[in-house]
Chains A and B, each alone.
Chain A
Amino acid sequence: MSIMKAEALSVNFDDKMVLKDLSLAIEEGKIISILGPNGSGKSTLLNVLSRNIKPNKGIVYLDGQNLAQLSGKRLAQQMAVLPQSPQAPSDLTVRDLVEFGRFPHQSWWRGKSEQDEVCVSWALTQTGLTQMADRVVSTLSGGERQRVWIAMALAQKPEILLLDEPTTYLDICHQLEIMELLAAFNHEHKLTVVMVLHDINHAARYSDYVAVLQQGQIFAAGKPADVITEHTLREVFRVESEISFDSSGKPMVMIRGLTSKN
């Protein structure tokens, strides 16, 4: 069953078509990665799905409701969004930041509830941040900081989590740590994860489905093994590659070089 559905999305920035008549269904409880070269519209697509950008045409449905008609709070109770490299005021503690995740569940006349406390400590435990809860965010490493943002998103108790390049600027160990964390969450709590990724191998390894964008349209979408092919890499990314499969049948890409232009 699909938790989210985008129908015939078009987005123009001034005269430039960034998304062209794009449709996509996102299955509940799965990990979906959006791939594509720079300027293919993948971040724009994520921004439309998270309602950060209004599409010029088309509708997005979340749980069968029109996204445009949901209130901000109602939406934030169902969906959490993590933009690329978010910035926080430098003197907040980890706990301060994670507590902001409860904002959509609070009303303006009422402060923290017991339920909020429970969700915050749960999110801290799940991300392994309990020991650091009182540390100031600016003293953390990049990987730890990204975990704090994910903890904030989890404290929202969303059904679906949208992330824009969650591993940018992280070293390989912390990249995998973030991917494993998201995979574990998806597995244990049936959290639907939609993310824009640059690393094709990460997408191949951790995603149930992959959508490859080219010039604002979906070039191919489906299981990683079906979508991530030498053909796709040549046509979309302009690189020559060799694809092998690991023991679980997931594709592994080795890039051999640029496709020569004819």
Chain B
Amino acid sequence: MLNKKIFSCRGTRDRSEWRAFILVIFLLLALGGIALSLSVGALSISLNEIITAIFSDTPGANRQVIWNIRLPRTLVGALVGVNLSLAGAILQGVMKNPLADPHIIGVSSGAGLAGVSIMVLFPHKEYLVTPFAFFGAMLAAIFIYILAWKGGIRPVRIILAGVAVSAFLNSAISALLVFYSDRVHGALMWMVGGLSARSWPHLDIILPYTIIGGILAILGARRLNILNLGDEIARGLGLNVEVSRIALTAVAALMAASAVSVVGLLGFVGLIVPHAARLLVGSDYRYLLPASALLGVAVVTLSDTLARVAFAPIEIPVGIIMAFVGAPFFLYLLRRDA
């Protein structure tokens, strides 16, 4: 049923019904993921109890667990899913390259080097990891942009500059890990990306970027559609191609940097969620962006639930779960379409 051919050959009316159907499914998946993430764990809490715990202030174990641990963690996961998926969807459009994701503009390697530096060089100052990772991510992105600038921005130059800069930064990370091999564990967990012990302060860091970035992304949807027609057509239609490209990349960089600085280098969401969404709703960004955001929420919250439960009481970083479950699913989508 979930077949692109069905999607692409239908008439306009069927198409909009199909898109609405997929968006509703994604919304239900997202809500289901959030509910499951709140309910499942060492202490199993029913949906009714969750609602009671959130909306009334009767003290008790449930309220403690929900309010202090699961709710903030789930919300951080949901927003991380939104940010990385939207960033990936935007970058794939701006770069006109299916492999573009937040890695490509240096966000991950920049955040990685800054974060790992703090963790191995100043392990007692962990509170600096998030702000440093954020600035590292933005610095790397800006640096790549400057390197790629030559009387204008060509996507191919950004991608090549991104690959080179990321390789450089990643080897610096490896060097740090070799020199401080006794402190590798924490850094390694962070580089895979995980939601363990994420709480309200982390939510405060991401939330503004999700709101502002989300609004800007939706406002940019039509521009992304025009950019996808190619630079010459876009210019002919009166779009300022250079300015749009820089502005949209900046939005993507900020969203990705805020997410990565809080949960570590969660790589998989930004690449594969937008692709999966595109296979199902098509490439019109007015639908693709909300679909990616909702699917991002579903993927991160469901994966994190699995990460907590699968090998309980040991918790595995959510990044590992996502790559293990998501990559085969993505390949499945790819193959059935051929």
Contacts and interface: CB of A to CB of B under 8 A. Distances in A.
Interface stretch (A15-23, A68-76, A224-232, A240-248): A68-76
A83 B231 CA distance: 10
Interface stretch (B21-29, B72-80, B222-230): B222-230
A206 interface: no
B277 to A, nearest CB: 13
Interface in B203-219: 219
Q: By CB atoms of chain A within 10 A, which of B8, B225, B236, B240 has the most?
A: B236
B282 A103 contact: no
A58 B129 CA distance: 54
Contacts, number: 79
A92 B283 contact: yes
Interface stretch (A24-32, A93-101, A118-126, A250-258): A93-101
Interface of A: 50-52, 71-77, 79-83, 86-93, 95-96, 100-101, 103-104, 106, 108, 133-134, 136, 138-139, 153, 156
B235 interface: yes
B230 A83 contact: yes
B42 interface: no
| Dominant secondary structure at the B interface | helix
A131 to B, nearest CB: 12
A108 B243 CA distance: 15
Given A89-B228, A136-B8, A104 B237 contact: yes
Interface stretch (B9-17, B56-64, B259-267): B9-17
A100 B238 contact: no
A89 B283 contact: yes
A83 B238 contact: no
A136 B8 CA distance: 7
Given A91-B8, A93-B12, A134-B12, A77 B238 contact: yes
Interface string B39-53: 000000000000000
Nearest to B13: A134
Contacts of B12: 93, 95, 133-134
Contacts of B7: 91
B9 A139 contact: yes
